[in-house]
Chains A and B, each alone.
Chain A
């Protein structure tokens, strides 16, 4: 689990770590955050060295707001510059570090990937709503809306093995954290869509995906504690 970082989650009262050394990239993260997961996949796919400082999001240290005024993870810090928002930072690191460029350069393919990412985000966000909804009518309306978005995704994957084409690329790594959680918590939506299901099998063999994957029981343990309103961050190995 090196991928997501095992450092203890720092909380209010814990001292601010010294700034990262020259040219060192630091990620402010949380071990189970799907947005951090996006960035970590991009870092793993490009083999970008970095250190991780984890943040307790229920008891955020004051100094964290200097890294990200919105108080969210992920954030990055390097040579005095800080950035936040998972998609924006992931593009940034893809652009400034050498190695295989993960973003699609063809303008039309790139535009289509952005639209399908929008469709998947829509479905995933509704899955989170669904996990908290008890009213049967609302649940069934949500399920219909989720399937409608996934229909578009399913069609997209009918034409290429990965969202980014013949190899996993930027859009795959933006979508995968949602998929991985859907596999655990809303697997009916994956099983019912054959192209998405076989996509999951293919992605499961990707080195970056493997490096960042939590054992299922850890992820479930975290989600249960989160849903109960008392998220436990330091689960599994803690350094």
Chain B
């Protein structure tokens, strides 16, 4: 779990940590956030050293809004530069750090992947809808969205490719994975309806970055339980003082 960072989640009243050292990349995160997970996958895939400051999102420290006016994680800070939004930050680190470029360069393939990511938005909103659903109708509506998201990726993989980005996992795979990992725990039987997607899921599970960032299922379930009850516990598992 080194991948997602074990630092205690800082909360209201706690002082702002001093800025990262020269050339050090800092990620403001939350251990169980799927959007932080996206960025962490890209960092792991490219072996980019960084430090993590976790934020308690139910009791945000006042200073966090100076870093990200939207108050969301992830954000990054390096040499005085601050950026946020998972896709923007992930793309930025992919472009500015050495190593294999994860984002697809071919214009047509890139456009198709972006359209797919838009369609995957159904899977994402279905995921949150599922967690929040209180009635059978709400659950049905969420499952319909989840299926639409699953189908989009399943159809996309119907071209013989092992991964969305081609023969190996790339940028778009890492944007999709965090919610897919969570959906596989929430609705495993729906995932099984999509053979190509299920095989893709298993294949992704072997990827080194995916492994490095994967949660212990127990911890994850504990987090979701708190989330569902409206009483989120962030410091689960190993906790290191910041």
Instruction: Report which A residues bind B (CB closer than 8 A).
Output: 81, 83-85, 88-89, 91-92, 95-96, 107-108, 110-112, 114-115, 118, 152
Contacts and interface: CB of A to CB of B under 8 A. Distances in A.
B242 interface: no
A211 B125 CA distance: 39
Contacts of B107: 91-92, 95-96
Interface residues of B, number: 20
Given A92-B111, A95-B107, 12 more contacts: A81-B108, A83-B108, A83-B111, A85-B115, A89-B111, A91-B110, A92-B108, A92-B110, A110-B95, A114-B85, A114-B87, A114-B88
Contacts of B230: none
A220 B137 CA distance: 41
A67 to B, nearest CB: 13
Nearest to A84: B115
Given A85-B115, A88-B114, A92-B108, A108 B81 contact: yes
Interface string B104-125: 0001101110110010000000
Contacts of A107: 91-92, 95-96
B111 A91 contact: yes
Contact of B83 (A81, A88, A92, A111): A111
A10 to B, nearest CB: 23
Contacts of A83: 108, 111-112, 115
B13 to A, nearest CB: 25
B114 A111 contact: no
B72 to A, nearest CB: 12
Contacts of B96: 107-108
A105 to B, nearest CB: 9
Contacts of A110: 92, 95
Interface string B77-96: 00001011101110110011
Contacts of A92: 107-108, 110-111
A84 B112 CA distance: 9
A95 B69 CA distance: 32
Nearest to A68: B115
Interface in B116-172: 118
7 contacts: A81-B108, A83-B115, A91-B110, A91-B111, A96-B108, A111-B83, A114-B85
Contacts of B88: 111, 114-115
A83 to B, nearest CB: 5
Nearest to A122: B70
B85 A118 contact: yes
A85 B108 contact: no
A95 B88 CA distance: 19
Given A81-B108, A83-B115, A88-B111, A115 B84 contact: yes
